[in-house]
Amino acid sequence: MLKEKLNACQIILASGSPRRQQFFKEMDLHYTIRLKEIEEIYPEHLKANEITDFLAELKANAFENELQENDVLVTSDTIVWLEGKALGKPKDYNDAFKMLQQLSNQTHKVITSVCLKSVKKTEVFNCITKVTFATLSDEAICYYLDNYQPFDKAGSYGIQDWIGLIGISKIEGSYTNVVGLPTEMLFQKLMEYA
């Protein structure tokens, strides 16, 4: 249904994330991947979804003047927001270990912003999901880091991994958002371009 409606559009996913690419396949979208290296730096005064909104649009703006009439560019950014601080991707093993210790027995927010950009308009929207971890032992954290190496993930975890099965006690909101893309919101927004 969506594929037929969007046939006139050329959807461009500007993300190297295998999870986002898989979602696009599973949503049965025709798309191409176009990547640009972007330095993900944001002003220090930004908080929570202001950060992800800024970064998603920053990534889209890198394609300014490159889009064709029927192109719809999709960029996104995800952070874990805990106690007034953004947890991005870990720098290394020790950083990942510390992040997971912080998340243990706590509720945090996973915030993903998506920017849709065409020749005519730029639109940014975001999704916030609350995730609660049970208490994680140091042994469980080490097992997860050694076996799943989640160093490319915000907050150092993937809900779809082993840690999500054994460590997450509650989720309020979109599951796909926690994986990295609020697919239901994206679907609705793309339909507006059809």
Catalytic residue set: 77
Q: How many CA atoms lie within 13 A of 157 on its CB side?
A: 32
Q: Which are the contacts of 31, defined by CB distance < 8 A and separation ≥ 6?
A: 11, 12, 13, 24, 74
Q: Among candidates 116, 9, 16, 112, which has minimal Cα distance to 60?
A: 116
Alpha helices for the chain (secondary structure H): 2-5, 18-26, 49-61, 93-103, 138-148, 162-167, 175-179, 183-193
CA distances from 87 to 91, 159, 185 (A): 11, 15, 23
